[in-house]
Structure 1
Amino acid sequence: MAKAIIPHDYQGQPVSFNDTGWINATEAAARFGRLPHEWLRLPDTVAYLEALERTCGKIPHVKTSRARADRGGGTWLHPKLAVAFARWLSPDFAVWCDMQIDALLRGDGSHWATARREATLGHRAICDAVALNCEARGKTPQRHHFINEARLINEVITGAFAGRSRDQLNTAELEIVTLVELRDTALLGAGMSYAERKANLLGYAQTLQAKHLQGAPTA
């Protein structure tokens, strides 16, 4: 899909939309043990698609991406189909989808795009801080220095010392990543050791996550 993919969370499971309201039907259906083509070949669905074409013309309502699953691969449905498809999966899920699509079409997806840009800037700040820290110790910055610092950020947030695709994070997760990165930038500037920074960042990340769970702003 050419549009920006915006990850959402439904009862602990990922559901992706793009910024114009299309839904990744493959991803959504998997949660319910179903496949999009099962719904698309139903007589009622075929009749609905024909009615849409009579009213709106022959615009694409179904698209398929052959990209990897974590990069938006799968069958995508137009927002005019998404709620009907979601209702086939679950009435509660359909209501939730309707709310997400409405928010996206009103422009609320821009919040995710802003958070993604801020996370990119936070990462750049960390890279600069790592480079300066290495140079201050008489070392030449190497690729593994930057990778390990990014993995440290992920570890204090998720518990796993590994990489994560930020394009798959939701708005709140991106905000937490950015704030932790900014804290780490300051700690590097203060000359803290790796162990000291890890302990400090772990406590900070836990505080941010607790605020998010309580519905409080992360700032």
Structure 2
Amino acid sequence: MKYPTVTLNGVNVRIDSAGRYNLNDLHKSAVEGGKAKESQRPGEFLKSRQITRFVQELASATIIAPVRTINGGKNPGSWGVELVAIRYAAWIEPKFEIQVYNTFVEAKRQKALAEINRNTARLEYKPMTDAIKHEREAQGKTIAPHHFSNEADLINRIALDMTAAKFRVYHDIGKKESIRDYLTPEQIHCITELQRANTVFIGMGWDFEQRKATLMGIFNKNHRQPLIEEQHRLAA
């Protein structure tokens, strides 16, 4: 199972489907950042009488279990909701608590921004499909599903270097899931801009190869380097 993550001190801190953070990942991050000892593991934190009471109170006030501990299996460890994760960070070291809090806030901001960008990309897709429909109708040609998928593949091959189908396989994405939910901000921005340009070119009556060459030129000029730089940042 693939988990969404936030990155702290070069460590990917996993988040489960209920929004709980992996406390073992947080501990590893604190150790990497020189803010924790090996002995300050989640198990010791959760044994504390004060924390036990805190978790009990939290359990009565929340719908999901605030702490989940998995023994054995592929993903063992302790998982805690944000309040527990921040309390654990404070237990480790006050400076680490501040770092964790700021990281969580920024992650939420980026997630909200990504959602806005994804919605923009979705909205920009319809004008492109409408342009395809109108252009073929004006030429007296029939319209088939592959005419729309060909345009989507054109954009994805340029922006992602693969079709949506291959992107799903490569990233283990379910058939019912949108690939946009797995794209980086720069990838979404690139796709949105190429869709806008392609819509204009279709309306101008340009053929497929002419549009492809021009879109590739736009990609090379405006998007290739930002995408490379983004990948370097994500890998750091």
Q: Same fold (TM over 0.5)?
A: yes
Following superposition, the deviation at residue 155 of structure 1 comes to 0.3
- 1:176-195 → structure 2 map (5 Å cutoff): 176-195=190-209
The number of aligned residues is 184
- Relative distance call for 1:45 and 1:127 in structure 2 (3 A) is farther
Deviation, 1:77, is 4.8
Give the gaps of 5 or more residues in structure 1. Answer: 33-39, 64-74, 87-93
Query: Is 2:48 the partner of 1:44?
Result: no
Three-state SS of the structure 1 residue aligned to 2:164 is coil
Q: What CA deviation, in whole Å up to 9, does each residue of 1:64-109 have, x standing for no partner?
A: xxxxxxxxxxx975223456889xxxxxxx998654411255x554
Paired residues of 1:7 and 1:170 also in contact (CA < 8 A):
no
Partner of 1:208: 223
Q: CA deviation at 1:173?
A: 2.2
CA distance in 2, matches of 1:201, 1:11: 38
Letter of the 2:116 counterpart: T
Conserved 8 A contact 1:122-1:178: yes
Report the equivalent of 1:102: 105
Seen in structure 2, the aligned counterparts of structure 1 residues 8 and 126 have a Cα distance that, compared at 3 Å, is: farther
CA spacing shift, 1:203–1:134, aligned 2, 3 Å:
same
1:116 is matched by which residue type in structure 2? R
Q: Identify if the C-alpha distance between structure 1 residues 22 and 184 changes in structure 2 by more than 3 Å, giving closer, same or farther.
A: same
Distance in 2 separating the partners of 1:133 and 1:124: 14
Task: Check conservation: 1:7, 1:16, Cα contact below 8 A.
Answer: yes
1:69 alignment partner in structure 2: none
Residues 153 and 163 in structure 2, CA contact (< 8 A), matched pair in contact too: yes
Higher relative CO (Cα under 8 Å, sequence separation at least 6) belongs to 1
Q: Equivalents in 1 of 2:87, 2:56: separation in Å?
A: 18
Q: Does 2:159 match 1:157?
A: yes
> Which has more radius of gyration?
2
Quickly say closer, same or farther: Cα 1:113–1:187, change in 2 above 3 A.
same
> Aligned-pair distance for 1:45?
3.9
Aligned amino acid, residue 145 of structure 1: H
For 1:14 and 1:199, locate their aligned partners in 2 and report how far apart those are by CA, in whole Å: 39
Alignment root-mean-square deviation, CA: 4.5
Which residues of structure 2 form unaligned runs of 5+?
Answer: 30-40, 69-77, 90-96, 168-178, 231-236
8 Å CA contact retained: 1:83, 1:98: yes
